[in-house]
Amino acid sequence: MDVTSESAFKRDDTGTTTNGWPYHVLCVDLDGAVGPLVVVISPTNAKQYPAQYPADGRHPTQRYLDLKPPKVRA
């Protein structure tokens, strides 16, 4: 997988995952094994989970966590 491709997301973008959970992009240029995106996913108002994604926003193993295009662009 090419993790150096340009991200379709920008820092501070917000949107939802394919199952409707809100996300917020924290970082688009992390030098990591999974990919350059770091997002916070909020399945409930009380909990938030950080996750690392490839530049295309597709979760490596759990398709219900794929990122839909941003609703609010930074």
pLDDT tens per residue across span 6-59: 678 999 999 999 999 999 999 999 998 899 999 999 998 789 999 999 999 999
Token reading at 50: 């950080």
Can you give the pLDDT at residue 32? 84
- Does residue 72 sit within a domain? no
Structural domains counted in the chain:
1
Can you give the pLDDT at residue 3? 46
- Does residue 70 sit within a domain? no
Which pairs from 47-54 meet CB under 8 Å and 24+ separation?
A: 50/26, 54/1, 54/3
* Containing structural domain, residue 18: 14-65
